[in-house]
Amino acid sequence: MKNLLITGATGDIAREIAKQVQGYRLILLSRDVSSLKDISEHLYQVNLTDEKALITTCQQISQDFGAIDVLINNAGYGYFKPFLTDTTSDVRQMFDVNVLALMTVTRAFLPDMIAQKSGQIINIASIASYMATSKTTAYAATKFAVRGFSDALRQEVADANIKVLVVNTGPVLTKFHAANPDYLKKVGENAVTATFVAKKIVAHLQTSKRELNLPWQLNLARIFAINFPNVVDKITRRFFNIK
């Protein structure tokens, strides 16, 4: 049986992936696994910001199950606030979780993927990695980093038959926005469900797809932003200041 590992497994998207996926041994990694016992028996509890403990946990997983066939780096968080209210500690913490932990986990399992000449790495980023908006300075910076890392890694591991998929979502109806419920009400039809995102990800397991941009409306906006950045800056500055 192939091994599929998900970080940040208590997240709504991760839970939906775990419910929908079939034919894989589910290995779930989270800072608190108490709520995951009904989903999988292969649970590993670790604080992602504790690099030493994270490396040790990944090594244990490799010893227990061998090579990971699909790695889904789902762990991450964000908040909406002006840059001048961010502290260096706030920004460092977000980079530790959203970027450095993702790299640490990937580095841990990549050698076995290369040795078996197969595997897939799925990194959950954000449409914010293309369309950075006000009040998301630290978050957007981490997601730009995730996408840049993924694009470079994809080229490095192509000859080993390892695929790298980046998933960029807009607003998703999850507890990610629990602290800012009015935002989801305001973005309305541009928000998608965790079930929808998970379905798209599961449909592209072990494919050569390089990027998923969801939903289609924001994918069009992303394309427009690439070609007409000044226009989009003016629009998003007004629209996304509702955060």
Catalytic choice (24, 77, 79, 139)? 139
Residues 6+ apart with CB under 8 A from 228: none
Whole-angstrom Cα distance, residue 107 to residue 71? 11
3-state helix, strand, coil in the chain (%, to 5): 55, 20, 25
Residue with tokens 């507890």: 175
What is the per-residue burial (b if ≥16 Cβ within 10 Å, else e) of 83-121? eeeeeeeebeebebbbbbbbeebbebbbebbbeeeebbb
β-pairing verdict for 172-173 and 192-193: parallel
Would residue 77 show up in a list of annotated catalytic residues for this protein? Answer: no
Residues 6+ apart with CB under 8 A from 140: 126, 128, 129, 132, 133
The crossing angle, in degrees rounded to 10, of helices 194-203 and 12-20 is 50
Given a contact cutoff of 8 angstroms between Cβ atoms, the answer to whether 13 and 194 are in contact is yes
> Cis ω on the peptide bond leading into residue 215 (within 30° of 0)?
yes
Residues designated as active site:
139
